[in-house]
Amino acid sequence: MRTHLPSRKVIAVLTAALLATGVAACGNSDTGGSGSGDDGKITLGFSQVGAESGWRTANTTSIKEAATGAGIDLKFDDAQQKQENQIKAIRNFIQQKVDVIAFSPVVESGWDTVLKEAKDAKIPVILTDRSVDSADTSLYKTFLGSDFVKEGRLAGEWLVEQKKAAAGPVNIVELQGTTGSAPANDRKKGFGEAIAANPNLKIIASQSGDFTRAGGKQVMEQFLKANPKIDVLFAHNDDMGLGALEAITAAGKVPGKDITIITVDAVKDGMQALADGKFNFIAECSPLLGPQLMDLVKKVHNGEAVPARIETQETTFTQEQAKEALPNRKY
């Protein structure tokens, strides 16, 4: 367990005192630097994936508001869905000697080197929303986020139940999230495992729409052109489903009737589409991770033990449930 906080604070004070008296301070590279801001606040460096979806916007708001509420000095970076930007941001945070680094990894692989750099600098790292596939789990303190496999499975199980009386093939198209990202990999896995219960349910096309509305629309247009009979769309998030609605309507089909639409997230626009009968089912993925994250930041900064995995509590929505929940939906 990391116990360097008090010594880092002491070093910060001593360094300031030495500088104030004109004496050059000798850095202690083992400490990872002064960390806490001049005002004594904890400094958190947070690298966000981007602004690709309604979910992401709600997640960013939650993190910024929670940091303010918790009195944490937040250094926020938007990686614009690029891993190289996230690596650059994390290296900047290390250089700035922030107290804690948190990030939502755009993809699962390729983090070991930079995480090792943070560990060597004695800066604890928290994974939030998405995880990494590093074999060395000592490179981060904890992972706070959803069970994406479960979300895919819940979506698939609902479909199995709906189509249990189907006499012939049910053609499914799948709009995947960002290639290589944990939610895309895991939702695909969970959904695939669940629909294996009924051999009539077949994924006839599957492609990435990068979690964006534009991507969802464009890929759905291609699906519709290439496949005369599409019965079901499984979109890995609401935004891609919403983009696909435009393509489906433009192709002269009725979303929610001619094509059953299942998505993940349950952001306001998605819930509205569900309540309006254009979507048929949503597996929830909550973006409101800010308060729990700030709590963890304080704990790891204080050297307290935290669970290795904290799973977000989530539910699912049918059209009727969406109508009930919509008036109180905050995001």
Among 36, 47, 48, 53, interactor with ligand AHR by CB under 6 A: 53
Distance in angstroms (rounded) separating the CA atoms of residues 185 and 169: 25
List residues bridging with 97 in a β-sheet.
none
Establish if 264 lies at the interface with ligand AHR (CB under 6 A).
Answer: yes
Q: By the 8 A CB rule, do 246 and 217 touch?
A: yes
Establish if 242 lies at the interface with ligand AHR (CB under 6 A).
Answer: no
Q: Which stretch binds ligand AHR (CB under 6 A): 51-59, 92-100, 273-281, 310-318?
A: 51-59
Task: Give the binding-site size for ligand AHR (rule: CB under 6 A).
Answer: 13
Contacts to ligand AHR from residues 175-204, by CB under 6 A: 183
Cα–Cα nearest to 144, from 187, 105, 86: 105
Angle (CA) 200 218 185, round 5°: 55
Task: Convert residues 276-315 into a mask of x (bound to ligand AHR by CB under 6 A) and - (unbound).
Answer: ---------x------------------------------
Shortest gap between Cβ of 295 and ligand AHR (angstroms)? 20
Cα–Cα nearest to 79, from 124, 111, 120: 111
Distance in angstroms (rounded) separating the CA atoms of residues 69 and 81: 27
Shortest gap between Cβ of 88 and ligand AHR (angstroms)? 21
Among 8, 36, 52, 172, interactor with ligand AHR by CB under 6 A: 52
Shortest gap between Cβ of 285 and ligand AHR (angstroms)? 5
Contacts to ligand AHR from residues 141-180, by CB under 6 A: none
Q: By the 8 A CB rule, do 138 and 198 touch?
A: no
Angle (CA) 168 318 219, round 5°: 60
Encoded tokens for 22: 């004109």
Q: By the 8 A CB rule, do 38 and 14 touch?
A: no
Shortest gap between Cβ of 129 and ligand AHR (angstroms)? 5
Distance in angstroms (rounded) separating the CA atoms of residues 89 and 136: 21
Q: 66 or 289, CB closer to ligand AHR?
A: 289
The helix/strand/coil state of 225 is helix
Shortest gap between Cβ of 109 and ligand AHR (angstroms)? 15
Establish if 234 lies at the interface with ligand AHR (CB under 6 A).
Answer: no
Q: Which residues contact 57 (CB under 8 A, 6 or more apart)?
A: 51, 331
Q: 49 or 67, CB closer to ligand AHR?
A: 49
Q: 237 or 260, CB closer to ligand AHR?
A: 237
**Which residues contact ligand AHR (rule: CB under 6 A)?**
52-53, 55-56, 129-130, 183, 211, 237, 239, 264-265, 285
